[in-house]
Amino acid sequence: MEKSEFKKCLQIIDKIEAWNLTKDTFFDTFFHQAEAESFLLDQDMFSEMIHHLIESNNFIQFDNTFDLSEPLYIFSRTQHHSKLEALSIFEAMIQHPDYYSYCNNHLSGEIDLSSFGYFKNILVSTNLFTNQNDRMFFNPDYLDDLTWILKDKKEGYNCSYALKTYYTHQLYHKLSLEFRNEEKEMISFPNKEKMLTVFPKIGIPVDRDCSKELQNFFKDTLLNEFKHQCCICHINIVQLLIASHIKPFRDCSYLIEAMDNNNGLLLCRNHDYLFDQGYISFDADGQIIISKEIANNLDIYQLHQNFKLPSCVMTPTRKEFLSYHRKNLLKQ
Ligand SMILES: [Zn+2]
């Protein structure tokens, strides 16, 4: 499949993602939408693509919906031959543990393209590699960022800060918007200095609508990370779910704080309100903390004293944001 066709498929998948589709209705709906957009594609070719996306952990199926991985979400929005295009397809490919270890071991050496299986054709039509005397290497200009991506992946982040920063840069570097909160302190991101080199603008836009694309990304990432359910009560009706900021949007001092899933929890409307108003919070181990004001009514609020967030979501950055929440929002 050509890169442009691959991207177009991703864009259509992203569009139909919110339509509550099952495994049975997914293919028909996809081709119906493709036809409506005058995009013709061979069915076997599409089935093969989905097979490889599932195998590489880039397409995840849930009971009543499915999700693309964040790197592919970003890749589908990149410009031809841009740095972000190369970095995002690289990160999508290394969602597969075999490709991760191959890249980790061959970052500065010669590359055997046949090692990348299905992804080979897409990868070679980006700027990810250079050809030196018929030998292939990763593009030396990208090595720093590829290392950054591999490191974040190892830390357990489902989307690296490298991609988030370059994506933010793509969306905002040319816009002259009025910003606020420049004086507020940013949490200590890993590689904070590198982030500021790529996207130096501090603060968030005064007009919240200007960050709509990043807020969509924020919600999409949280839906994926929390498997489309409230992390406390497991309600899974999308319309009842809120992508809840841990450090509130109004307090964010950098666009990446506002769009980073590590600054969020997926909660139902009830639990979002209790969290937002500081009636509940979480300690550094993810153990729930319940304010005295509601401590006598736990059943009504569907809360349990021994509830704990799953350890896989307790990334170092989410711990930082939760620390902010305890200090600034939690009612005693
Ligand atoms: Zn809930």
- Amino acid identity, residue 24? D
d(CA 124, ligand 1 centre) in Å: 45
d(CA 241, ligand 1 centre) in Å: 8
d(CA 229, ligand 1 centre) in Å: 8
Q: How many Å apart are CA 305 and CA 290, to the nearest integer? A: 7
Nearest to 171 by CA among 217, 221, 224: 217
d(CA 288, ligand 1 centre) in Å: 13
Q: Which residues of the chain have pLDDT under 70?
A: none
pTM confidence score: 0.94
Element holding 129 (H helix, E strand): strand 129-132
d(CA 150, ligand 1 centre) in Å: 34
d(CA 264, ligand 1 centre) in Å: 14
d(CA 242, ligand 1 centre) in Å: 10
Q: How many Å apart are CA 285 and CA 318, to the nearest integer? A: 11
pLDDT of residue 245: 98
pLDDT of residue 332: 80
